[in-house]
Copies of this chain bind each other. A is one copy, B any other.
Amino acid sequence: MEVRMDGLNPSGEDVREAIFKSAVELFARRGYYATTIRDIVDRAGVTQPMVYYYFGSKEELFVSCVKELFYRISCEYKKVPMEQPIEKYLWEFITVGNDIYAKSPESILLMINYIHYPEEYPRFSDIKELVAKPMEVLKNAIEYARQNGEVRQEINPISASMTVLGALTLARTLHYIHNFIMDIDLDVDTEFVSNQIQKIVTRGILSN
């Protein structure tokens, strides 16, 4: 499997890419079991055996998607510099997630779902560390601020980061449901809610 340096895809890689994209969207919206290979290839405009040629099986295709997305977002999160007030850090961290969600809600959704679905998705040990990465990045930043005395001692960094990510997760999910699936009672403006979450948590953890 030849490694390519450029961003362009020859006809061959186009097929692979089309499958990948279509798979992410469908796995995200419908889940692993409710998504069929036919759905994926129809949307991608390719034939069924191509999935097996490029990815080996449905499961491997799924793993590829999840890994790739978790890897990408971890990278983005890591770019946020820790050497700044935790208040600002938090906001930038949240913004990174919001931007990705805005660009392709499915990417975020797939990750959310994967976490919130104990057994629905196939679980693979080599995904473990990837799944925990984003939360770890945030935890490290809060820990760092706590060592600086910026954050109260009694605050447990992992719980704090869980609070932030859990809140965002729910907000984005409800937003998605409201906008794309059904008119549930809660209309969520992600921008505004994100801001509120940041305010609440910041004040909740700051020292003075």
Contacts and interface: CB of A to CB of B under 8 A. Distances in A.
A102 interface: no
A186 B169 CA distance: 17
Given A180-B118, A182-B123, A165 B170 contact: yes
Interface in A23-55: 28-34
A57 to B, nearest CB: 16
A1 interface: no
Nearest to A184: B128
Given A167-B162, A200-B204, A204-B202, A120 B113 contact: yes
A118 B203 contact: no
Contacts of A30: 119-120
A157 to B, nearest CB: 10
Chain A contact surface mostly: helix
Interface stretch (A9-17, A80-88, A129-137): A129-137
A123 B31 CA distance: 14
B196 A163 contact: yes
A116 interface: yes
A162 B183 CA distance: 17
Interface of A: 28-34, 109, 112-113, 115-120, 123, 125, 128-129, 131-132, 135-136, 154-156, 158-160, 162-171, 173-174, 176-177, 180-186, 188, 192-193, 196-197, 199-205
